[in-house]
Chains A and B, each alone.
Chain A
């Protein structure tokens, strides 16, 4: 009897958690480079009905004890490319992430290509962290200072800057990738860090597109449908909890 509360509770918890993920997806429906969540469910262990005083014919009969949410994965699906026309805005069409130096010197990865040129003439992301660039010979960070209106970037990520008459090759924006659906873990601010066992390598299957941003890959229709089914499932579980409570109430009122 006590267990029937916990079965319904496990269901309510699981659907509540699912709702949290859906809400997060919907909140990020227009976040540049956002990857939506993919979260499934797992059933719990079974328990035998063969207890003392239980009238039971088949002694092997078992009941399930509820449900839990499974592991969360990011859906690695391409987001829509949105035309912005910005000289320092880039979208990755294909596999991979840009890399940026964090304040503590570590490297984080992002699909958000909304870059700017800062006061020192270096390319930074929207949080002001420097983008990893493989500079060409004779060029280094801030030398020459980048000017956003003169930049052009080709599909391989090679940066060129018009300098009066000449066009200088500044270097290349590398794009990194790794095998596995859990190789990059989101840490907030559109950044990802590699998992411990992830083998980071340079991606070959991508195009960098200047003047575009990658929209969020949240499918709002799917998110809303999921929201409705999760909410209904939550409701049904709470109904089951109420019935369990009613049964217990009846037992208590027997005498």
Chain B
């Protein structure tokens, strides 16, 4: 009986976490380049129930009744890397990635990666993310990784992701990175992720004058929200029922 209570509670806790995941997706529904996450659940390992009521000779021996599952737990929260919708803009510093890959930006001494291509130009003339981290490129002459200088000039992006600046020609290639294992990525906030090791030579398709929206599906998330609520209700009902049964056992059967 008590066991059943804990089984229902494991459901409640897991559903709370799923509610957090879904709410976070909804909060980021208009966030450029955001990738939705999904919480996966798995059941506890089965346990074998046994008693010692079987008499063999003059001894009680262990008697297996069968397996029992004691509830549910959170398996993992996985990010789902499907393509977001493209939005056309009029800004030359707006970029979007079609397919796999990430932009690379400098955050202190580290490289961080993002799908949010809403870039700007800072007052020193370099391409930055909207929070001010320098966007990195590869110098087409020296192959060195460096911030991209644009200045006041107009520029365009060619098929090899080279940045062709009016009056200066091609100086840098927009640096992009891909990863072998998308599951190992760490989300560090501000639309950035980190992971190791980056593959800088991967073929990444970048588009200019376009932004990538989030891949959150409103219908899906709201349906999940309703499902969570009802699921939670069911679990909560079961706890109440079990409480009533314990109550009966304690107060009514116990009465002499």
Interface residues of A (CB under 8 A from B): 1, 3-4, 7-8, 10-11, 14-15, 18, 38, 40-46, 49, 53-58, 60-67, 70-71, 73, 75, 77, 95, 177-183, 195, 197-199, 205, 229-230, 232-233, 236-237, 239-240, 243-244, 246-247, 250-251, 253-255
Contact (Cβ within 8 A) B125 A179: yes
| A244 pairs with B123, CB closer than 8 A | no
B30 near A243 with CB under 8 A, answer no
A49 touching B77, Cβ below 8 Å: yes
Q: Is the CB of B125 within 8 A of A240?
A: no
A47, B125: Cα distance in complex, Å? 36
A179 with B151: CB separation less than 8 A: yes
A40-B130, A71-B132, A244-B19 given as contacts; is B13 within 8 A of A236 (CB)?
A: no
What's the Cα separation between A45 and B235 when bound, in Å? 31
Return the contact of A63 from the options B14, B77, B123, B191 (Cβ within 8 A). B77
Once the chains are docked, how many angstroms separate the CA of A197 from the CA of B122?
10
A57 touches B75 (CB 8 A): yes
Overall SS of chain B's interface? mixed
| Binary per-residue interface labels of chain B (94-120) against chain A in the complex, 1 for a CB within 8 Å, 0 otherwise | 000000000000000000000010101
A232 to B24, CA, bound (A): 15
Chain B residues with CB below 8 A from A18, complex form: 30
Other-chain contact of A55, B23, B39, B44 (Cβ < 8 Å): B44
Contacts of A55 in B (CB 8 A): 10, 13-14, 44, 71-74
Contact yes or no, A42 B31, CB < 8 A: yes
Taking CB atoms, residues of chain B closer than 8 Å to A240 are 19, 22-23, 26-27, 225
Is the Cβ of B19 less than 8 Å from the Cβ of A43?
Answer: no
Give the secondary structure class of A's interface: mixed
**CB pair B151 A54 closer than 8 Å:** no
Pairwise interchain contact A43-B236, C-beta atoms closer than 8 A = no
Chain B residues near A (Cβ < 8 Å): 10, 12-17, 19-24, 26-32, 34, 37, 39, 42, 44, 71-77, 90-91, 93, 116, 118, 120-125, 130-132, 151-152, 187-191, 218, 221-222, 225-226, 228-229, 232-233, 236, 239-240, 243
Chain B contacts of A244 at CB under 8 A?
19, 23
CA distance A46 to B155 in the complex (A): 36
Partner of B124 from the list A4, A180, A243 (CB cut-off 8 Å) is: A180
**B189 CB contacts on chain A under 8 angstroms:** 42-46
A118 to B221, CA, bound (A): 61
Considering the chains assembled together, what is the distance between the CA atoms of A62 and B183 in angstroms? Answer: 12
* Cβ–Cβ contact B74 & A61, under 8 A: yes
Shortest distance between the CB of A177 and any CB in chain B (Å): 7
Partner pick for A40 among B75, B116, B187, B236, CB 8 A cutoff: B116
| B236 near A239: Cβ-Cβ < 8 Å | no
* Cβ B26 vs Cβ A236 within 8 A: yes
Q: Please name the residue on chain B nearest to A63 by beta carbon.
A: B20
CB B188 to nearest CB in A, in angstroms, measures: 7
Given the complex of chains A and B, what is the CA–CA distance between A183 and B151 in angstroms?
Answer: 12
List residues of chain B with CB within 8 A of the CB of A10. Answer: 27
Q: Which of B20, B39, B122 has the most CB of A within 10 A?
A: B20
Cross-chain pairs A/B with CB under 8 angstroms, 5 sampled: A7-B20, A14-B27, A15-B30, A43-B191, A54-B13
User: Once bound together, how far apart are the Cα atoms of A46 and B191, in whole Å?
Assistant: 11
A62 to nearest B CB, angstroms? 6
Within the assembled complex, what's the spacing in Å between the Cα atoms of A71 and B131?
Answer: 6
B225 CB contacts on chain A under 8 angstroms? 239-240, 243
Report chain A residues within 8 Å CB of B12: 251
B15 to chain A, nearest CB (A): 8
Report A-chain residues with C-beta under 8 Å of the C-beta of B27.
Answer: 7-8, 10-11, 14, 64, 66-67, 237, 240
| B236 x A58 contact (CB < 8 A) | no
Chain B residues contacting A198 (CB-CB under 8 Å) are 123
Write out the residue numbers on chain A whose beta carbons fall within 8 Å of the beta carbon of B30. Answer: 15, 18, 41, 229-230, 233
Measured between beta carbons, the chain B residues less than 8 angstroms from A61 are 39, 74-77
Q: Contacts A49-B77, A239-B225, A247-B16: A181 and B121 contacting too (C-beta < 8 A)?
A: yes
Residue ID in chain A nearest B214 by CB atoms? A41
Q: Once the chains are docked, how many angstroms separate the CA of A38 from the CA of B228? A: 36
B14 x A179 contact (CB < 8 A): no
* Residue pair B24, A7 in contact (C-beta under 8 Å): yes
Q: 8 shortest A-B CB distances, which residue pairs?
A: A11-B27, A55-B73, A180-B123, A45-B189, A64-B24, A41-B31, A58-B76, A181-B120
What distance in Å separates the Cβ of B99 from its nearest Cβ neighbour in chain A? 21
Residues of A within 8 A of B218 (CB): 232, 236
Given contacts A55-B14, A250-B233, whether A4 and B29 have CB atoms under 8 Å apart is no
Q: In the docked arrangement, what's the CA distance between A32 and B212, Å?
A: 31
A250 touches B31 (CB 8 A): no
